[in-house]
Amino acid sequence: MALSEFSLIQQYFSSLGNAPGVVLGVGDDCAVLTVPEGEQLVATVDTLVSGVHFPVDASAGDIAHRALRVNLSDIAAMGAKPCWFTLALTLPEARESWLHEFSLALADDASMFGCALVGGDTTAGPLSISIQMVGTVPAGKALTRGGAQAGDSIYVTGSLGEGAAALCLFDESGESVAIDNDDARECLLQRFYRPEPRLQYGLKLRELSSAALDISDGLIADLGHIADSSGLGADVELNRLPIAPWLAALVEPPRVLAWALSGGDDYELCFTVPEENLPAVELLIKRGELSASCIGKMSEQHGVRCIDNNGQLVETSTTGYQHF
């Protein structure tokens, strides 16, 4: 089958382009977009390469979900609303069944999260998906990494370690821990392929949080980015890390701790809260409008430190996921 780029984009992706502000979608040299008055843009890009960021036998639908959601997670971390994305799709061959499944999954998530595909490029080559996502945020309100103050409380949303645990399922070297529990495997696969972009949390935290990011490289590494950007350090209390009981039951505690601290791929938000906003954040948590746990405090002393039950400093690896 030889599908030209033009008919391929028309056939599979032109229906994903409806959203407010899209004056002209896929099919011209560029999309034309209207930005709401008083809003700034936020922009991010993430690439997934077959065999590097997902197993070579991953389904087209799973790949689509993950590719879109890791970008949405960056938008969430800025306290922004997703609007438009472009897709650069590199494929070994234009197989119709693959494209059909991929575009349906992408359309599902685009519709669920309220963003439109406005541009695409398909090329022949080793399978790789690059999505560039643009969102909007009221001018001056974007949540950055650099606004934390010493004494601010550090929170993370949801639970940690599942993203890293999921990677064990794909490790064929046999060096990773074996996960035999079928329910756990299913949960971890879901967590890996459909990470939940914390968009609603980001919007709520925009007025309450002093700094935020999403945890993609591991808590220690990513919290280190907040600390560095804010000219500060951080103290993390290990016994306050949110780890799901079912995950803790799977393996030995040191392994779970390593997953939670430096495994990466969790796509939860890590954010800091000034003392005056703590009541509001705790109220959101109490009401069930925000799932988040306080895990420590920002400090004047540079570096990220981990502290155990007895208040003792614990030596941990400080490097997150290394891309090379």
**Position 43 contacts a copy of itself (CB under 8 A):** yes
Q: Figure out which of the listed residues 46, 109, 152, 268 binds a copy of itself, where binding follows CB under 8 A.
A: 46
Rounded CA separation 225/219 (Å) = 10
Q: Figure out which of the listed residues 11, 15, 41, 294 binds a copy of itself, where binding follows CB under 8 A.
A: 41
Start-to-end Cα distance in the chain: 36
State the nearest-atom distance from the C-beta of 201 to a copy of itself, in Å: 14
Sheet holding 292-299, edge to edge: 211-214, 269-273, 153-157, 292-299, 233-237, 303-307, 313-314
Nearer to a copy of itself, 187 or 213 (CB): 213
State the nearest-atom distance from the C-beta of 315 to a copy of itself, in Å: 20
Stretch that binds a copy of itself, among 19-27, 232-240, 254-262, 285-293 (CB under 8 A): 19-27
Stretch that binds a copy of itself, among 32-40, 153-161, 182-190, 271-279 (CB under 8 A): 32-40
Rounded CA separation 47/45 (Å) = 7
- Which helix (H) or strand (E) segment holds residue 48: the answer is strand 39-49
**Position 87 contacts a copy of itself (CB under 8 A):** yes
**Position 225 contacts a copy of itself (CB under 8 A):** yes
Q: What is the dihedral of CA 212, 185, 50, 130, to 10 degrees?
A: -30
**Position 29 contacts a copy of itself (CB under 8 A):** yes
**Position 56 contacts a copy of itself (CB under 8 A):** no
Nearer to a copy of itself, 229 or 299 (CB): 229
**Position 322 contacts a copy of itself (CB under 8 A):** yes
Tokens of 100: 């059909």
Q: What is the dihedral of CA 49, 50, 52, 53, to 10 degrees?
A: 70
Q: Figure out which of the listed residues 142, 223, 232, 292 binds a copy of itself, where binding follows CB under 8 A.
A: 142
The pairing of strands 303-307 and 233-237 is parallel
